[in-house]
Structure formats: C-alpha cells, structure tokens
C-alpha cells in the first residue's frame, strides 16, 4: 500500500496548518510524523485516513496495481487515537464483537485472543465506561493492531499508558506492525523509535 501526497495543504478558516506537502508513504514501511503539540500532526493523519479532505493538493492510494478511491480508504486501515471514541455502554466483549463486524481478524486472532492480549480476563463483561483511561487506550490499540488491514495509523499511541503499558505497546509493534504500512504521529521518541522514515510537519508551515 502506497500513499502519495502531491502539494497537500490543509487550512482552517484563513490559517494554513501545513502546506506544500509532497511525500510518499511506501509499502510496508514504518513512518513517524513528528512535530510539537498543536503543529498539525493529527490533522495530517486525518487527511491520510480520509476523515478530512485536503484544502489543496491531491492524495492517491495504490494497493498493488490498482488505485483506491479516497472515500473507501477506511476499509484498508486501522486507527488508534485519543480522539477516537469507544462505545462506553458496551462491555469489553461487546466492543470486540462490534469492531470485528467491520474488520477481519489478523490470522491466528479471534475474540478470545484479543481479550487475552489486553490481559483483562476479569473484565470481559465490564462496561467500558468503568474502565480507566489506560484500559481504554489499551483497548483502542489492541483493536487496531489485531485487525487485518494493510495500514496501521497511530496518534500519540501511549497516551494514558504507564511504563508497563508502554512496554506492552512496543511488544505489539514488534508482533503486529510487520508487513503493513505503519504511521505514528508523535513527539515522544519511545513511540516511534522503530520508524526509520520521519516527516516533520514543521517543515511544511505556510
């Protein structure tokens, strides 16, 4: 899966958040989108995942030999982000069932395996609204990692995670980021240290 940006820009009202981005995210590479808080990292990720339309330029998606309509790109990606909500009225089991109505499990994974990864055996029927912020973040990450998609997009992936949670995240990266395009938006090196390819959004300020 390749994503090619040609002169991409995004503005809110009259202010350009970034402008003139020419970049290609290639194949199964690991990429970090870097910049300080408020610099536009999350905005660029939302352009990449199709939830925001660019204000300027064009974006193209190529899977193998055929192009994908930007309106269909959500079918090809998994996302974990602080602004992505889980359904708090669902139990853990119900949330896993709901998520995997729309995404396939990665080979070797199923509902029980996802719950096992979370290490929340005693909480499978607990409503998500009673989860701590760290438990909710673990859930978002597990759902994204365990879905069989060619793209994985992560925004501030260790938000609300303690040291043990960060180690858990890095173990998932090692196990589930292989053979897929992985894009991490971050300003904390432990979140993207495995990414040899780095785009600094501050280089594209208008």
Nearest to 108 by CA among 149, 147, 152, 150: 147
Whether the Cβ atoms of residue 140 and residue 130 lie closer than 8 Å to each other: no
Q: How far is CA 33 from CA 12, 112, 116, 184, 197, in A?
A: 20, 33, 30, 6, 9
> What is the distance of C-alpha 188 from the center of its chain?
16
Residue 193's Cβ-count burial label (10 Å; 0-12, 13-18, 19+) is: middle
- pLDDT tens digits, 95-139: 999 999 999 999 999 999 999 999 877 788 899 999 999 999 999
Whether the Cβ atoms of residue 78 and residue 153 lie closer than 8 Å to each other: yes
Domains of the chain: 2-204 (3.40.50.300)
- pLDDT tens digits, 127-180: 999 999 999 999 999 999 999 999 999 999 999 999 999 999 999 999 999 899
Whether the Cβ atoms of residue 125 and residue 154 lie closer than 8 Å to each other: no
Whether the Cβ atoms of residue 1 and residue 76 lie closer than 8 Å to each other: yes
pLDDT at site 124: 84
Whether the model pTM is above 0.85:
yes
């Amino acid at each position: 899966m390749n994503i090619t940006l040609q002169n991409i820009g995004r503005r809110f009202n009259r202010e350009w958040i970034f402008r003139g981005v020419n970049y290609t995210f290639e194949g199964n590479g690991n990429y970090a989108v870097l910049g300080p808080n408020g610099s536009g990292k999350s905005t660029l990720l939302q352009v990449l995942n199709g939830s925001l339309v660019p204000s300027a330029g064009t974006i193209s998606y190529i899977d193998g030999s055929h192009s994908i309509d930007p309106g269909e790109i959500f079918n090809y990606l998994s996302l974990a982000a602080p602004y992505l909500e889980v359904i708090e009225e669902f139990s853990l089991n119900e949330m896993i069932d709901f998520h995997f109505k729309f995404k396939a499990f990665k080979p070797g994974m199923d509902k029980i395996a996802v719950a096992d990864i979370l290490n929340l055996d005693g909480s499978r029927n607990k409503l998500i609204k009673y989860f701590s912020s760290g438990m909710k973040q673990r859930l978002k990450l597990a759902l994204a990692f365990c879905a069989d998609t060619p793209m994985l997009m992560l925004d501030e992936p260790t938000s609300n995670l303690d040291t043990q949670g960060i180690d858990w995240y890095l173990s998932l990266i090692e196990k589930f980021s292989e053979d897929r395009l992985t894009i991490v938006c971050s300003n904390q090196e432990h979140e993207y240290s495995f990414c040899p390819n780095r785009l600094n959004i501050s280089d594209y300020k208008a």
